[in-house]
Amino acid sequence: MPKLQGFDFWRTTLKGARYVVAPMVDQSELAWRMLSRRHGAHLCYTPMLHAQVFVRDSNYRKENLYNDVCPEDRPLIAQFCANDPEVFVQAALLAQDYCDAIDLNIGCPQMIAKRGHYGAFLQDEWDLLHKMITVGNERLSVPITCKIRVFSEIDKTVKYAKMLEKAGCQMLTVHGRTKEQKGPLTGVASWEHIKAVRKAVSIPVLANGNIQYLSDVERCIQETGVLGVMSAEGHLHNPALFEGRNPPVWEMAEEYLEIVRLYPCSLSYIRAHLFKMWHHTLQVYQGLRDELAKVKTIAGVEEVNRELKRCCQEEMANQVEGEKPKGGLPFPHWICQPYVRPGPKKLPVENGDRSTEAKTGSKRALEDEEGNPEFLSKNKLKKKARNPHKNFDLAQKPKYAKCEQCGNPKGNKCVFSLCRGCCKKKAFKETADCPGHGLLFKTKFEKSLKWKNAENEGMMNEDKAGGHIQTDSITAQLNGTESGNVM
């Protein structure tokens, strides 16, 4: 079939999707996608996949896509982060038979994206993005889509979107925040930017940001003119968001755990989902938080959910009629809440004397996050308390050279100057040794040859010995015959 494009792709392949669940690392696995579809989601994405790892690691492909094939899990878009056109296309070619489109993530603002050189940290490299999308659009049998963040300037954001459309992008998801808007600086997403992009391009546009209720979805569609709305955090806190319901937290947990029985996933994913849904309830019942953190099986998680349900129902029975929810929540804590981003918090005194702007709760500069010992994060402060001699100064830490093939840290003693994964492939292909990584393909091959040669020599010696015995027997018989003849 010819590859559908633009609005034809949205109408036919995506079935006019309006309610969309965002791609989330370790949070949009098959079980969660199936729960989402039961409760109103029209379109789901895979978790963000690393293109380079997807190409080189067959187990990664199986765990994150191939083993999750389910006829009911469609339409589905697979999202990749990448910074190399060929690697991106190779990964997409391996994935295209298992999804309806390939999405290029150029919207992730996290530090891991900065270090890996992908996500929103590619948004200034227009030539690279143009090439990645163009090559992908030419070689893939499914459409290319993009998820982006905006620039501060609306005009630049519009030019950016037009460039992606021209390169071959068939659908844009616009998160109305800049890459600097994260953590305490997240703030409100700009629907004005999204509206301007929607008017400027001739491909479908989805909006992302500021969604707490189903009414927000409808209002966003009306104000911006987009075809659909994507939700991430809001949907994690209330999986029934697209139904316009706010059910009890244990009800959603019970259903999710039933689906997990059908479509197993990592226990860490399950915990993460329940911590989100139970966020406010676990602040009331701290013991259950500890129990959830300790359990090792799904049965254990189900038992924690039953105990949470019992506690909440007892509290409901004792609730005074007309009593307002505590903590300023719109609903009692046992109800799935709309997600409200917390405001800026004052930084701990231990972080040192900061500028006036920093003391008001502004996000640390990216350079500070890179390891400046004067500006330690909360987690690093905890590590420092456990080990006062621990050093966080990157300037005093050894610099790790990169693998020549994939960019990961190379082995210090690797004879090929590669990381272990790349070294293993090269050593196997060339039948070589790398003592630094403990890979002895050449040595083992030579040993196997010696063993085979020794075995062959042994067999030959046995044949020779057998031949001598047989010859001696024949000679003896002949001698006997001759003697008989003489007689």
**Domains of the chain, residue spans:** 6-245, 247-340, 349-396, 401-448
Residue 132 has pLDDT above 70, yes or no: yes
Q: Which residues are catalytic?
A: 108
Better pLDDT: 322 or 259? 259
Query: Helices marked H in 375-440 — which ranges?
Result: 378-386, 420-430
Percent of the chain residues topping a pLDDT of 90: 65
Helix H or strand E segment including 77: strand 76-81
In this prediction, residue 359 has a pLDDT band, given cuts at 50, 70 and 90, of: very low
Nearest to 44 by CA among 239, 210, 248: 239
pLDDT for the residue numbered 226: 98
Pair of tokens at residue 79: 């999202």
Residue 176 has pLDDT above 50, yes or no: yes
Pair of tokens at residue 115: 């270090």
Better pLDDT: 342 or 83? 83
Angle value at C-alpha 282, between 181 and 290, nearest 5 degrees: 110
Coil, strand or helix at 409: strand
Q: Which residue has the tokens 């090439």?
A: 131
Nearest to 245 by CA among 396, 40, 21, 410: 40
Asked if 236 and 27 count as a contact pair (C-beta separation under 8 A), the reply is yes
Determine the residue type at 196: A
Residue 32 has pLDDT above 50, yes or no: yes
Taking the CB of residue 279, how many other CB atoms lie within 10 A of it?
Answer: 17
Asked if 194 and 158 count as a contact pair (C-beta separation under 8 A), the reply is no
Residues 385, 390, 396, 400, CA torsion sign: negative
pLDDT for the residue numbered 360: 41
Residue 407 has pLDDT above 80, yes or no: no
Mean pLDDT of the chain: 87
Q: Which fold has domain 6-245?
A: TIM Barrel (3.20.20)
pLDDT for the residue numbered 34: 97
pLDDT for the residue numbered 397: 61
Q: Which residues are bridge partners to 174 per DSSP? A: 148, 207
